[in-house]
Every structure is written in C-alpha cells, then in structure tokens.
C-alpha cells in the first residue's frame, strides 16, 4: 500500500492577511515578546542552553535578532520568497549549531505563548492565535526541510579514494566531532588574537593503534574561503561544567590542508552605545565567555568539539562568475576591521593559492609560507584593514610577505583608530575608521570605484559594515550586488 505524503503546512488567505496585519504591533513589541520567550523556554528546557549563546541572551542581541525575523515574516507573509536570503543565512547558522527538528515544536509553543502574554487577549484573539500557529508551522517547515538537505549532504559525503565518510561523528555526538588543538600561535603583539590549529581526534594515532600499522586518515571536508565552523566547549562556571556553549569562528586559512585554523580574539568588557527601535542607549557588553575560556584554558593537546563548515561569505568560483567573458579576472577588494580579518585572510590565501595552481601550501599544522613562486593572477587585490593600534593588528608579517611575493597584484593598507594626539600608532596608517573621511579618500584608486566588475568583501562590526556599505553604495554608486558582507554576531 502506498504511503500518502504528509501535506506541507500552509496558511489560508484569511490567515495570511491576519498575520500581515500584525506586523506593526510586532515591530513595536517584538523585542519584549522574544525576550519573554527566551526566558520562559530556557527555564523550562535548560538543555537548550547548549545551543543558544548565553552572551547574546545577556546583551539582548538574540531577542533582537529573532524579533527582526518574526517582524520580517509578518511583513512578507504574502511574499515569502522575498525572505529567502535571510532564511538561508539562518539555516546555515542552525546547521552549524546542530539545531534539530525536535526543537521546533518547543520553540513554537513558547513563542506563541509569549505573543499572547505580551500583547494580551484583546489583541491575540482566537483567530490571531490560530493564524500565527499556522504561520509558525509554515516557517518551521521551511527551516526543517532546508536544514535536512544540508545535514544529509554533510553526513553522506565520502572520500572517493577510501570510501570512508568524510565527517564521522561518535555515537551520541550528533554532528559534533572531537578535534585536537595541534598548535596554538599568537597572531598579534598584544597577545589578544590567537590562532588554534585543529585536527580530527580520530585521525591521530593512539596507544591502542601500536602494531596495527598506520591509522587510516579521515580527510577533512574542504570548505569555501570565508566559511566558519562552530566550536563547543564546557563552561565551568555554569552548571558545574555540564553546560556547553557553542561559538562560530571563521576559518582563517585556505582549504585543502589537514587542519582547520580558527583565529580567536579575547573579548573584554566594553561600554558601548546600542541601537534599538527605541533609539540609542548605553550598554555594557560582557567579556567574551568562550573566547576567554579558549585563551585561558585551552592549550596544545586539548580537545574541542567542531561541526561541519558552513556559511555563505565567499567569492564566486571560477566556474561561476569570477571570470569575465574576455577571460579577465575581476578586481577584488577585501575590507576588514578587528578580528573581521579572519575570513578575509582565508579568501586572500585561497585566491592566491588557486592562481598558483594549488589549493594547499603543505601538510601538517605548519604555518603556511607566502614565499612562493610568482602568482599567475593578473587582476589586482586590495586589502584594507582597520585596527585599534599596531599592537592589535593580526597577521602583519604574513600580509607583508604576501605583498612582497605578489608585486603589482596585492596591495595592503592598514588604518588605525587611535586616541587624538597619540602619534605612537600612526606607522603605516592614518587616523580614522574605514568608511569615514580621509582613509577611503586616499585609497580611491585601490577601491576600483569606477570599475563595474570589482567585487568587495567586507567583514567587521556592524557599525563598520554599515559605514563601508554606505560609502561604496550610497556615496560612490557601487552596485550592492557586488558588495558581500559578513557581520560577526547574532542575526548576521
């Protein structure tokens, strides 16, 4: 007997209209709704702390991000394809964090309850509640279906030579795979930026392997430059170390090696001005929980859990749109600030390695050298980086070697944000942030603003990203489709 397919969730035209009509009130009260939602759900299901970022809960970033998504869904209830780019970004995040189908009914229950609690029965009538219940079912189905495809693709990949699975995970670990810190390297003079070279634990020999010959190597999945992985570690100060916390870190080297490299900045407490629907208000951002745990507690030989590389911040491949019809390559401009340098470094290393006809610069966890044969790439690459000071800049020596090894192709420019009147940090740079005033004006030639084929890859804090985008798109007329951005943090 044929098994009937289960119909996909849907909304009636009346329910679509009701959901869309609630968009203004959700815009006004969305953060209150999602803040109540997270508090109630995590109190009832504390195991979900292993998925949700505690720091983003504390700062309100997570509730604000969810509120924005809920509002966008309501506003586009009659045009869901318009949400595809935003949904795709969230799907990548969810798969990286191993969000499972069983989580969605829990989220739905507490989200609908939070809407009713904050807005009250006069607003959330039975018809409104039914409409939003149907709407959530549609949204959950979109996420579950897209995530299932990605999970299946990641887990089913096999090495063509050995026929072994590329991403084996121990029983009970879901998609989390133990990796060993093979090497730890300081990347900035102030010691606040550190690279961790990670290799799969199942690829290392153990004492039980003695006399059995070489251990079968499980190849690492390749990744696209600019993608990230999730790292998960126990948090000693919460739940006696039983609470796990994941964080996503960009891969900071080219693919094709037998290690993954992440580069982590020690985040310290900051006093900032946060922006919300109610305006600007001062806020204290706590010191980074996981970044400080990694810096303080994790040394070579220690183990972290890792998930499959994900993310969409990467250049088009040569088989896609990277080469113009006449065979010429497009100029590339890499713009980063702070630890936003990490995906940019992966892109730079990968593009130059591909131009040399290789995807790797050697095996092991040895730091890749940039002293190699001249690149065959002809199109220029401009790299512009903003740092607080010369002591906070990462990969300085590596970038200098890259520029030296590729004359006429790669140019690099460092800009510093220094206190007024402090001349100690002006070496090789100027005062002021990228996107503002003289920094960009001096580098107009390197930005290729008059070249309609140039592509821009921008990574850094949200305010920095917005300033760069405004400068390129609003002030200089660059097509926004050629500006690719990766914002670190929730909701990116």
Q: Are strands 332-337 and 455-460 parallel, antiparallel or unpaired?
A: parallel
- Identify the pLDDT of residue 492: 37
Instruction: Assess whether pLDDT exceeds 60 at residue 193.
Output: yes
Nearest alpha carbon to residue 183 among 97, 82, 300: 300
Mean pLDDT for 56-83 is 92
Distance, CA of 366 to CA of 350 (rounded, Å) = 16
DSSP secondary structure of 89-136: HHHHHHHHHT--TTHHHHHHHHHHHHHHHHH-TTTS-HHHHHHHHHHH
Q: CA-CA distances (angstroms) from residue 263 to 247, 268, 314?
A: 12, 16, 18
| DSSP state, residue 176 | -
Mean pLDDT for 8-36 is 96
Instruction: Assess whether pLDDT exceeds 80 at residue 16.
Output: yes
- Identify the pLDDT of residue 372: 38
pLDDT in tens, 340-369: 999 999 999 998 887 666 544 333 333 333
Distance, CA of 72 to CA of 86 (rounded, Å) = 9
- Identify the pLDDT of residue 154: 85
- Identify the pLDDT of residue 273: 58
Q: Are strands 244-250 and 228-234 parallel, antiparallel or unpaired?
A: antiparallel
Mean pLDDT for 117-141 is 96
Within 269-387, strands assigned E span 270-276, 279-285, 303-306, 332-337, 381-387
- Identify the pLDDT of residue 330: 87
Nearest alpha carbon to residue 307 among 241, 227, 236: 227
- Phi-psi category of 448—alpha, beta or left, where left has phi over 0 and alpha has psi -120 to 50? left
- Identify the pLDDT of residue 251: 96
pLDDT in tens, 247-298: 999 999 999 898 999 999 987 765 555 555 555 556 655 567 899 999 999 9
pTM: 0.83
* 454: CB partners within 8 A, 6+ apart: 330, 331, 332, 333, 447, 448, 478, 482
Q: In the structure, what pLDDT confidence band is assigned to residue 56 with cuts at 50, 70 and 90?
A: confident
pLDDT in tens, 141-159: 999 999 999 998 888 777 6
pLDDT in tens, 210-228: 444 445 555 688 899 999 9
Helix (H) or strand (E) holding 247: strand 244-250
Q: In the structure, what pLDDT confidence band is assigned to residue 237 with cuts at 50, 70 and 90?
A: confident
Catalytic site residue 147? yes
Distance, CA of 311 to CA of 314 (rounded, Å) = 8
Distance, CA of 182 to CA of 205 (rounded, Å) = 13
Question: Catalytic one among 38, 147, 456, 486?
Answer: 147
Helices (H) and strands (E) in the chain, counts: 13, 13
- Identify the pLDDT of residue 454: 93
Q: In the structure, what pLDDT confidence band is assigned to residue 243 with cuts at 50, 70 and 90?
A: confident
Distance, CA of 301 to CA of 178 (rounded, Å) = 12
- Identify the pLDDT of residue 35: 96
What domains lie within the chain, and their CATH numbers?
13-156 (1.10.490.10), 177-204+220-306 (2.40.30.10), 332-487 (3.40.50.80)
Catalytic site residue 136? no
CA 62, distance to chain mean position in Å, is 15
Q: Which of 81-85, 387-391, 443-447 has the highest mean pLDDT?
A: 81-85
What rounded mean pLDDT belongs to the chain? 81
| DSSP state, residue 373 | S
- Identify the pLDDT of residue 342: 94
- Identify the pLDDT of residue 316: 72
Question: Catalytic one among 4, 14, 38, 104?
Answer: 104
Mean pLDDT for 36-50 is 94
Which residue did the predictor score with more confidence, 55 or 5?
55
């Amino acid at each position: 007997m044929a098994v009937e397919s289960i119909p996909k969730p849907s909304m009636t035209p009346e329910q679509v209209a009701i959901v869309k009509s609630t968009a203004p009130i959700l815009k006004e009260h969305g953060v209150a709704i999602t803040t109540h939602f997270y508090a109630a759900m995590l109190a009832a299901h504390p195991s979900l702390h292993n998925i949700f970022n505690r720091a983003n809960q504390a700062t309100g970033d997570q509730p604000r991000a969810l509120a924005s998504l809920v509002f966008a869904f309501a506003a586009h209830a009659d045009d869901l394809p318009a949400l595809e780019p935003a949904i795709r970004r969230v799907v990548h995040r969810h798969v990286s964090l191993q969000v499972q189908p069983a989580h969605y009914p829990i989220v739905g229950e507490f989200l609908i309850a939070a809407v009713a609690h904050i807005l009250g029965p006069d607003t959330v009538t039975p018809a409104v509640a039914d409409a939003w219940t149907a709407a959530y079912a549609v949204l959950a189905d979109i996420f579950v279906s897209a995530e299932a495809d990605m999970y299946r693709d990641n887990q089913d990949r096999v090495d063509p030579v050995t026929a072994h699975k590329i991403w084996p995970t121990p029983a009970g670990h879901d998609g989390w795979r133990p990796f060993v810190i093979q090497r730890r390297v300081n990347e900035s003079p102030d010691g606040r930026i550190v690279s961790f070279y990670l290799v799969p634990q199942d690829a290392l020999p153990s004492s039980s392997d003695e006399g059995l010959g070489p251990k079968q190597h499980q190849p690492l999945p390749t990744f696209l430059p600019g993608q990230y992985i999730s790292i998960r570690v126990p948090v000693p100060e919460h739940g006696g170390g039983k609470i796990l916390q994941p964080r996503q870190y960009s891969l900071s080297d080219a693919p094709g090696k037998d290690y993954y490299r992440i580069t982590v900045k020690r985040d310290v407490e900051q006093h900032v001005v946060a922006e919300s629907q109610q305006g600007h208000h001062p806020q204290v951002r706590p010191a980074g929980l996981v970044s400080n745990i990694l810096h303080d507690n994790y040394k070579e030989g220690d183990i972290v859990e890792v998930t499959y590389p994900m993310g969409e911040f990467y250049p088009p491949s040569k088989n896609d749109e990277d080469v113009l019809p006449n065979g010429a390559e497009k100029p590339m401009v890499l713009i980063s600030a702070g630890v936003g340098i990490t995906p940019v470094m992966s892109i730079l290393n990968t593009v130059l390695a591909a131009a040399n006809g290789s995807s790797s610069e050697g095996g092991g966890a040895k730091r890749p050298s940039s002293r190699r044969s001249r690149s065959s790439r002809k199109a220029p690459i401009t790299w512009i980086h903003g740092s607080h000071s010369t002591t906070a800049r990462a990969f300085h020596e590596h970038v200098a070697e890259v520029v030296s090894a590729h004359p006429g192709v790669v140019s690099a420019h460092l800009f510093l944000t220094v206190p007024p009147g402090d001349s100690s940090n002006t070496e090789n740079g100027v005062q002021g942030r990228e996107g503002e005033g003289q920094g960009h004006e001096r580098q107009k030639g390197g930005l290729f603003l008059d070249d309609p084929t140039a592509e821009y890859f921008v990574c850094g804090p949200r305010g920095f990203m917005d300033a760069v985008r405004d400068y390129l798109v609003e002030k200089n007329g660059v097509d926004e489709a050629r500006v690719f951005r990766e914002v670190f943090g929730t909701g990116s």
